[in-house]
């Protein structure tokens, strides 16, 4: 996995956690 891909996955998971807390 490339560095850019891992960073994207990190941001994606962080966004999912934030949206889950908002609900």
Angstrom distance (rounded) from CA 22 to CA 7: 23
Q: What does pTM read for this prediction?
A: 0.51
Look at residue 7 in the predicted model and tell me its pLDDT: 93
Q: What local confidence, expressed as pLDDT, does residue 3 receive?
A: 94
Please report the pLDDT score of residue 17 as a whole number. Answer: 84
Complete DSSP assignment for 6-17: HHHHHHHHHHHH
Q: Calculate the alpha carbon distances from 16 to 1, 6, 7 in Å.
A: 21, 15, 14
List, in order, residues 6 or more apart from 9 with CB less than 8 Å away.
1
1-23, pLDDT tens digit by residue?
A: 799 999 999 998 999 888 887 76
pLDDT of residue 13: 92
Question: Which of 1, 6, 4, 3 is CA-nearest to residue 14?
Answer: 6
């Amino acid at each position: 996995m490339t560095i850019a891909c891992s960073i994207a996955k990190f941001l994606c998971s962080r966004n999912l956690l934030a949206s889950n807390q908002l609900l």
